[in-house]
Chains A and B, each alone.
Chain A
Amino acid sequence: MVNYSDDPKWADITPIPQDDGGPHPLAAIAYSDEYSEAMGYLRAVMAKEEHSERVLDLTEHIIEMNPAHYTVWLYRAKTLKELNFDLKTEIEWLNPAALKHLKNYQIWHHRQTIISQLNDPAGETDFIDTMLGPDSKNYHVWSYRQWLVKQFGLWKGEEGQKELDWVDGMIGDDVRNNSAWNHRWFVVFGCGEENIRDEAIVNREMGYAKAAIHKAPQNQSPWNYLHGIIRGSKTALSSLKDFALQFASLENPDDVHSSHALDLLAMIYAQDEDTKEKARQAFDLLANKYDPVRKPYWNYRKETLVN
């Protein structure tokens, strides 16, 4: 346990106890442990606007105990700036802290501020790999990766290819990782908006999604990806009919391998007057057999088929 009151280094500081804002029992104070002592010293240094090495130690100690306390991060960032502190050292300190507190977003914001001041992403992608190890869908980590890609142009040229290979590896590890699919979209179409009009890229990405669907036909992510490309590139839906038929067909209503394929078939059938009845059959199958939880949704879709 760290103790400040017996530490000569802190002898000049009188800790400021919690001010509960007045006489109201709703916020009455009754704590006296390591955390409360450290907070008392923090209030004191904040009151005199001290920015020093020992403030970094103090904020580090408090963050270890309670990383979600946003005021502490804010004060630490100010102190780093005042001291002109070596930011590489700060990043080295942040790495294990981030691993320990996977769901904390103050850490990520802090990191983003520092990396953008350093203006150098070296080592960051390796660090992200470490972070995604225990939780491959961590929203903060993926958001940070997007920021990195955008900030340092990692979606272009050789770097862009590397990024694509990396996300391909992530999807290879878990084809149902929706965060990885979203990142692929971000790299290919989000950053390079003109790519949705590039036939070669559109075909490549459609092929990529289709291959993933073959691996797990009921997986939502590649279907969403495929629909996104179709809409964005204005590809005719009907060109996907043979593909959809590989997973679902009205001839074999008991042998449907993907409700998403059935949905796509219904969309294709709905476009043509002659096949509207087939679209109705597909929606009935979805409502009654393959996705009954969303029965009202499928019925709504059926009702929108105007005769």
Chain B
Amino acid sequence: MAPMLEVRDLAKTYEMDGKPLEVLKDVSLSLDEGDLVALVGKSGSGKSTFLHVVGTLDSPTAGRVFFGGVDLFSRSESELARFRNDTVGFVFQSHHLLPEFTALENVMMPALIRRASRSATESRARELLKAVGLGDRLPHRPTELSGGEQQRVAIARALVLRPNLLLADEPTGNLDEATGEEVFQVLLELNRTENISAIVVTHSERLSARMPRRMRLAGGRLVGEA
């Protein structure tokens, strides 16, 4: 059976002042359902770029990304939008919470985009926020939350629709050890119970060591299991 996610010969080149900057050169990867991958690499090695391309937020310069056998970048914009909504959960390195909305509403947003009913969504969002330790911060806006709190809201938001694939960019980067551990436990738990696959970028050796698969990005290539 074909893998759930397959990345083939992916290359991404940015043009800076007319000079090409090859961030990703030849990245291939396949991921099955329930796989949990740690992605490590030096700052600027292209981890975030990789996640963006896999999540169809950016287009590759060359190469393909298949999901469930479908060549993603041959699809129309609105099909990709649906793919992101149904299948992918993002945790961005800089959170990207919507400033006009409360923590609860931010978490509910993907479901609202899907046009799910508010009431059903709300209970799920409350649950998730409680799970990441923010049960009492529901009506707060992002500006009224600390960086770590924002990050946890972002994690709850990524999980609200039970995605098949979680793309998390340093989800514990701003958290102290104890809280980071808690969030990490939530991830592991979800991976176990709901069979969510995830690619998690992390700088923490301690956390990556506990993940079943590890990859390192260096020189624009994935250099095996770290």
Q: Do A and B make up one complex?
A: no
Interface of A toward B, CB cutoff 8 Å? none
Interface of B toward A, CB cutoff 8 Å? none
